[in-house]
Amino acid sequence: MNDIPSFLAHLGDVPVVTDTDTVRRRSRDMSTTFSPIIRRDAEGKFADLIVQPRDMRDVIAVARAAALARMPLMMRGGGTCNLGQGVPLRGGAIVDMTGLSGIVWSRDAMVRVQAGARLLAIDEVLRPSGWELRMHSSTRRAATIGGYIGGGHAGIGSCGYGILRDRGNILGLQVVSIEETPRVVELRGDDVNLVHHAYGTNGIICEVELPLAPAWPWMEVVANFPSFMAAARAAYALASADGIVKKLISIDDVPNWEYMRAMAPLGRPGWSMVRCMVAAPGLEALRGLVAEHGGQIASEAREGQGPYHAPLWEFGWGHARLQVNKTRPEIVNNIGLYLDPDLLAAVERSHRRFRDVGGMHLESKRYNGQIAFQGSPYYAYRDEAQVAEVIRGMAEDGAMVANNHTYFVRGNGMKAVDARDADFKRQMDPHGLMNPGKFDAEAECDAPAGSGVRLPATGWKYATGTHDSSATA
């Protein structure tokens, strides 16, 4: 049992929510919709209460109270994560960071913001000065920057700038330790990856410093191609076209786009679809590229002004699944990474293999400096054995496959975890109170048979030498 009275006694006047329905609702994130396996594994796991820090003084008070009372903490922003990051495994206090939502400063094509600032709100402030975030999640309207850094990986903009962990995409992080006398630690350079994608297990992210990108006038284009591989080759050509500034390249085989109510009127029966965002000066070049690959453009619009009544980025990445699930709630996916130099050949192998299972969905991004396609077939969920079979098939075809059906950091395989990460975790969270169970290898080993962590994912490999071993807490 968690010592709630002791925690509250040490907490001071930090706002607290104890309403059972609210606490249970906030103990869930989008992952319980995205994965029936995570939904089952998370059954019965809820927090005890919610704390709502208003400023850094409150954050320090929460960290101190948790250490003194040995109260588990689970960090929360917009609750839009889909890998189980926001599900508390051992009760405790949800820490709602949305009260810290200010922009600390913006200058020299950089910005520093508080962790609870929403991605869309940050861009709304920046765009009048000609800048915007380099990348954002498809949940941009609701997601916070702290949640995106702590649990995200890539997203809209990654086809140009790479993934969040790539050098230069996160400049600095301010984090607070969970100790009787909490420390405020500034991470710079490669050290930011100690906290990035760690699911809030090794420090409370309070401020984030990021480089910015020019705020282009973005054009949204929906194009159809007579075959899936024609669409994939066109998408690859666009990803390779250095002269065209792009923000989104999404590929869907039939019938995926047919399941998206707003996209269905723009498709052609039996054809595949590419949805992309390019800077306005590149539109003419994109038209030529589409024609060269046998495609036809169905729609061109300024950002947010298309006939599908939403920004096009809400039909890519995680939101592509959300759009499909509105009509086919039983559809699930995996997360495979198809990399050059054999990218298109590997994609074609998977397309052939899964033709009768479901339509392929892919997103273009850069990964370790290479062009990559990320995705899998969309298919109707049956059981864990079926998911494992799809994972094995993708791996045989040449993909690295992460496990999006578990809430464990290591088990997911998208974060490279080594001894230095474990040491940093011990320094920042010596009592093991932050999102407990998510980082610990022992918890994964103790997971019951049939748990999502048992799926045969390969995980992702990164280039060596990406950590600077000089700086720790």
Q: Are residues 416 and 395 in the same domain?
A: no
Residue carrying the six token digits 């059906």: 405
231 occurs within a structural domain: yes
Q: β-pairing, 184-188 with 370-377?
A: unpaired
Q: Using CA atoms in the order 26, 28, 29, 31, what is the torsion angle rounded to 10 degrees?
A: 180
The answer, yes or no, to whether residue 464 has pLDDT greater than 60, is no
Please choose, from the candidates 89, 362, 402, the residue with its C-alpha nearest in 3D space to the C-alpha of residue 235: 362
Residue ranges making up the domain that contains 326: 218-402
Exposed/middle/buried for residue 4 (C-beta within 10 Å: 0-12, 13-18, 19+): middle
How far apart are the C-alpha atoms of 274 and 108, rounded to whole Å?
35
Q: What is the pLDDT of residues 377-425, one digit of tens each?
A: 999 999 999 999 999 999 999 999 999 998 888 888 888 888 999 999 9
- Whichever domain contains 156, its CATH number is 3.30.465.10
How many residues comprise the chain? 473
pLDDT-derived band of residue 467, with 50, 70 and 90 as boundaries?
very low
Last residue of a domain, one of 48, 65, 98: 98
Q: Are residues 71 and 172 in the same domain?
A: no
Q: Are residues 364 and 339 in the same domain?
A: yes
Q: Which long-range contacts (CB under 8 A, 24 or more apart) does 347-354 make?
A: 347/229, 347/232, 347/373, 348/229, 348/232, 349/396, 349/397, 349/398, 350/376, 350/377, 350/393, 350/394, 350/397, 350/399, 351/228, 351/229, 351/232, 351/253, 353/393, 353/397, 354/379, 354/390, 354/393
Q: Are residues 93 and 116 in the same domain?
A: no
How far apart are the C-alpha atoms of 253 and 265, rounded to whole Å?
15
Q: Are residues 225 and 351 in the same domain?
A: yes
Q: What is the DSSP letter of 138?
A: T
Q: What is the pLDDT of residues 202-259, one digit of tens each?
A: 999 999 999 999 999 999 999 999 999 999 999 999 999 999 999 999 999 999 999 9
Q: Are residues 371 and 309 in the same domain?
A: yes
Task: Report residue 292: phi and psi, to 5°.
Answer: -60, -30
Please choose, from the candidates 432, 462, 461, the residue with its C-alpha nearest in 3D space to the C-alpha of residue 90: 432
How far apart are the C-alpha atoms of 263 and 346, rounded to whole Å?
27
Q: Are residues 165 and 193 in the same domain?
A: yes
Last residue of a domain, one of 345, 370, 402: 402
Q: What is the DSSP letter of 140?
A: T
Q: Are residues 239 and 167 in the same domain?
A: no
469 occurs within a structural domain: no
Q: What is the DSSP letter of 12?
A: T
112 occurs within a structural domain: yes
229 occurs within a structural domain: yes
Last residue of a domain, one of 402, 432, 459: 402
- Whichever domain contains 372, its CATH number is 3.40.462.40
End-to-end CA distance of the chain: 30
- Can you read off the two tokens belonging to residue 383? 């059981």
455 occurs within a structural domain: no
Which amino acid, one-letter code, is at 208?
V
Q: Are residues 303 and 417 in the same domain?
A: no
**pTM metric for this prediction:** 0.94
Q: Are residues 204 and 222 in the same domain?
A: no
pLDDT-derived band of residue 451, with 50, 70 and 90 as boundaries?
confident
Our count of domains for the chain comes to 3
Roughly what angle, to the nearest 10 degrees, separates helices 228-240 and 283-292?
Answer: 140
Q: Are residues 29 and 166 in the same domain?
A: no
Task: Report residue 143: phi and psi, to 5°.
Answer: -65, 145
Q: Are residues 172 and 253 in the same domain?
A: no
Q: What is the pLDDT of residues 81-117, one digit of tens each?
A: 778 788 888 999 999 999 999 999 999 999 999 999 9
